[in-house]
Structure 1
């Protein structure tokens, strides 16, 4: 495998925190004045620790400045430290001390919370003065920035963005590059080859103080030599290149030289290995950054070596103490694909596992939604093997054990609900109605909320839906803001036989839709009913339109992807929904985000009832 919100409810402390910092006055500093409500927010955080941790905090703050359009600052100590390794021109952020002469008088609002509100709520981007994740001495996951505490698709995008940004902007200092080039040239000379003809793989092993840290904090023992031997063998087999050189870098080079075997003569102990000398630290990181690929151990130093390298990297992935892999195969039409995708994405978030779907699922969803809004990857796009080649542990049972038993979360490779002979329909594929329990209810709510917030239709579908709505507005003869759009969906065609066969249910009668529309007419002054169906002939023949507020605008072509996408985008753009049956109807209501009418009455989504709840993260994270 390869590799607006009231401040108090957002996890913010009360206003008025002046932060004590070392008294340093920089030439050219200016007097701080708070930003006006329409001016860019100011955000600040401090970096602590060694080079890897300083790089991490700098990268997050710089990318927040780029992505959110705010003004970011870091502490003086961080920038002074980074300038020991990288050129002045390549470090883009300023310190708050170097910018404001009276920085110690700034009244910060402390932000102790998951990062998602910061990324999604535009109220944070103007007029705010935020100190992100200040350290209070408490052992809290939000007492400092820790990437693993912020799992969500938006954070994942931020991480990917700052990795690209750092690769494209950071430049090592000339004295470091001189040493690194000499090391690479000497290896090439020893091998008797041109440097450009060699695939260099940097191998990093963090030891010394980090061994105790991982034992105490994570319960992990040191990595054994076999991890490095096995991974190098994998690289030797994977890379179609005649000449390969493994460059060993470690803060304990004595251990490396004693324990890493070099029977093939392609291992070079290139690291300096002195963790307290800045030039040596920079050289080791630059060795990794200029390799073609990396093998990393633990800690942020090795992580940054692989990020700055930008090539393929190998980790402990797949070992018993690593995240489990969940895989599922989505079958059926668009509604079923969305249901399975949503399940897998929410399992990834709630259980902190690696979840994948098939290429076909991602390809199909990409026809309707932007690539950027699809956060799951396909198994085939991630790994060399096809899913059929993997010895999966099949999971065909009630979902509750998967959600509450933590043993499923590490070191497992699970194929969820595969179609197997002899099994009941309940567990031969994923059917939500087969998993009634409180935990599954929470998972589904979180998944639906997440999909509503993150999925974006492709621009051509959004444009077609908007044109239809504009045409309806013109026919209504009143301002658009006065109209409440009610999406009405009726699934018929092949679905009639399906429901009669498996659920013994007859088709919905016209009276169902008439009753539902009357309820909304009583609730809203100027409703417009946007009728969509895969059988528009039936709709026009059976649905009464005596008040002239029903608009038969659905394309009704279940075999055209553009028409299917337009119908769903149209329903999703409405304020409320009247459902029929089937997953397409359900997803129309979910993506709309408003109240919806079903055979069982009117349902108001929970995020409408409790708008202050963090459905995405805190309330639906299985501990």
Structure 2
């Protein structure tokens, strides 16, 4: 204690001593963490990516990322129930996101990963991300390589979908950057100029299988870029897509509240038809790239007339990225109501809550119609340089029997 007496009343000396003690503590902690057993340095991460550790090399094909995720899901069930009861909002969502998104260690420094990995990647918005996730699901069900999606796709689709219903592994953005930097990831692009977003998918997956057969211990990630836009690929896979694509409870409830409010005005026997009108940037895209025009008001009138003739008490719920255009052409009809939602995922949940659907163009309208599950009318865009997103050639096969071009 006598050594500390000199500090009494001297603030400068106190500050100096405290600073020195803090510096010594930090230095000791850092020294121990770097030299402690089991510590992995960033350099070791890079080395492991190029040449796997020997103790893991013999087990590289044991298990899978999906099994790894499932085991972690079982271990956290109690915690998720607690968070669900306490706060169904952001706290639970953040907990789930931290645990599901796989980082470098969870992929490269584990014996659970089944190589190679094929990762679907897109920088699109909600509709495009749903396309990529659904297309990835169709390959996951018929391929013996690991099919995954990027963190950006996962975070976009979980704005609409229940995270707990999604089954594909998720790779972090940082992991993919690191893997590309050390040469163990290859990005495969589609033919954007020909609007061919699917021809590169299966050949890359087949090449991944062949390379694994030649080099069983090879660790490599294939990144499939683009915007998958041939939804006939979903034919025969609707069960797995629908089981994954469960809309979040709070969004469904908000959609039902909106529809209940309309029922009070028009009657409880209303048949709701979701109507999505895609405009904004798609107008110029169709004219300059596809060389055709978006559906006009003639199509709107014909679609309304079809449902009025075939269903009792139809009520049309209109959602659009250009509501002023929609109101200009549809506000005269007494059976037409316009969405009051403020977020894209809310609008999509509303469209999905209807019994039948009308769509014009684009992936957003497709998913509103697909998730609704009833009869769907879509516009037959003629004379386009490239096949439109929804077309008789792109919505064919099992599960699309009630889709009609008009």
Indicate the TM-score class for this superposition, using the shorter chain for normalisation.
0.5 to 0.7
1:357-372 matches, within 5 Å, as: 357-372=149-164
Ranked by relative contact order (alpha carbons within 8 Å, sequence separation 6 or more), the top structure is 2
User: Aligned equivalents of 1:608 and 1:384: distance in 2?
Assistant: 36
TM superposition score normalised by structure 2: 0.61
Q: Counterpart in 2 of 1:334? A: 126
* Inter-CA distance 604–358: structure 2 relative to 1 (3 Å threshold): closer
- Is residue 355 of structure 1 aligned with residue 147 of structure 2? yes
2:203 aligned to 401, 405, 408, which one?
Answer: 401
User: Aligned equivalents of 1:323 and 1:471: distance in 2?
Assistant: 52
Query: Which SS does the other structure have where 1:594 is aligned?
Result: coil
Q: Counterpart in 2 of 1:88? A: none
- Is residue 377 of structure 1 aligned with residue 166 of structure 2? no
User: Aligned equivalents of 1:326 and 1:395: distance in 2?
Assistant: 10
1:48-67 matches, within 5 Å, as: none
User: Aligned equivalents of 2:173 and 2:286: distance in 1?
Assistant: 36
Structure 2 unaligned spans of 5+: 1-35, 39-50, 76-104, 191-198, 381-390
- Is residue 509 of structure 1 aligned with residue 296 of structure 2? yes
User: Aligned equivalents of 1:504 and 1:334: distance in 2?
Assistant: 25
Asked if the contact 1:379/1:387 (under 8 Å) is kept, the reply is no
- Is residue 391 of structure 1 aligned with residue 184 of structure 2? yes
* Inter-CA distance 352–457: structure 2 relative to 1 (3 Å threshold): same
User: Aligned equivalents of 1:540 and 1:387: distance in 2?
Assistant: 49
Asked if the contact 1:593/1:605 (under 8 Å) is kept, the reply is no
Q: Counterpart in 2 of 1:34? A: none
User: Aligned equivalents of 1:417 and 1:198: distance in 2?
Assistant: 38
- Is residue 460 of structure 1 aligned with residue 250 of structure 2? yes
* Inter-CA distance 381–417: structure 2 relative to 1 (3 Å threshold): closer
Query: Which SS does the other structure have where 2:142 is aligned?
Result: helix
1:473 aligned to 263, 271, 282, which one?
Answer: 263
- Is residue 550 of structure 1 aligned with residue 336 of structure 2? yes
Asked if the contact 1:392/1:413 (under 8 Å) is kept, the reply is yes
Query: Which structure is higher in helix share?
Result: 2
* Inter-CA distance 588–456: structure 2 relative to 1 (3 Å threshold): same
TM superposition score normalised by structure 1: 0.41
Asked if the contact 1:575/1:594 (under 8 Å) is kept, the reply is yes
Asked if the contact 1:491/1:533 (under 8 Å) is kept, the reply is yes
2:360 aligned to 563, 569, 580, which one?
Answer: 580
Q: Counterpart in 1 of 2:347? A: 567
- Per-residue CA deviations over 1:117-155 (Å, capped at 9, x if unaligned) read xxxxxxxxxxxxxxxxxxxxxxxxxxxxxxxxxxxxxxx
User: Aligned equivalents of 1:228 and 1:456: distance in 2?
Assistant: 38
- Per-residue CA deviations over 1:457-509 (Å, capped at 9, x if unaligned) read 222211211111101211112x3xx3321110001112211111111122321
- Is residue 526 of structure 1 aligned with residue 316 of structure 2? no
- Per-residue CA deviations over 1:239-258 (Å, capped at 9, x if unaligned) read xxxxxxxxxxxxxxxxxxxx
User: Aligned equivalents of 2:294 and 2:253: distance in 1?
Assistant: 33
Query: Which SS does the other structure have where 2:235 is aligned?
Result: helix
Asked if the contact 1:493/1:534 (under 8 Å) is kept, the reply is yes
2:274 aligned to 481, 487, 492, which one?
Answer: 487
Asked if the contact 1:532/1:552 (under 8 Å) is kept, the reply is yes
Query: Which SS does the other structure have where 1:470 is aligned?
Result: helix
Q: Counterpart in 2 of 1:620? A: none
RMSD: 3.9
Q: CA deviation at 1:453?
A: 3.1
User: Aligned equivalents of 1:408 and 1:349: distance in 2?
Assistant: 20
User: Aligned equivalents of 1:230 and 1:523: distance in 2?
Assistant: 67
Asked if the contact 2:235/2:396 (under 8 Å) is kept, the reply is no
User: Aligned equivalents of 1:415 and 1:469: distance in 2?
Assistant: 44
Asked if the contact 2:314/2:335 (under 8 Å) is kept, the reply is yes
User: Aligned equivalents of 2:294 and 2:400: distance in 1?
Assistant: 31
- Is residue 325 of structure 1 aligned with residue 117 of structure 2? yes
Structure 1 unaligned spans of 5+: 1-196, 200-226, 235-259, 261-294, 419-428, 434-439, 558-562, 611-623
Q: CA deviation at 1:569?
A: 0.1
- Is residue 315 of structure 1 aligned with residue 111 of structure 2? yes
User: Aligned equivalents of 2:312 and 2:370: distance in 1?
Assistant: 24
Q: CA deviation at 1:430?
A: 3.5
User: Aligned equivalents of 2:359 and 2:319: distance in 1?
Assistant: 10
* Inter-CA distance 508–382: structure 2 relative to 1 (3 Å threshold): same
- Per-residue CA deviations over 1:260-294 (Å, capped at 9, x if unaligned) read 9xxxxxxxxxxxxxxxxxxxxxxxxxxxxxxxxxx
Q: CA deviation at 1:323?
A: 4.2
User: Aligned equivalents of 1:606 and 1:382: distance in 2?
Assistant: 38
Q: Counterpart in 2 of 1:172? A: none
> Bigger radius of gyration, 1 or 2?
1
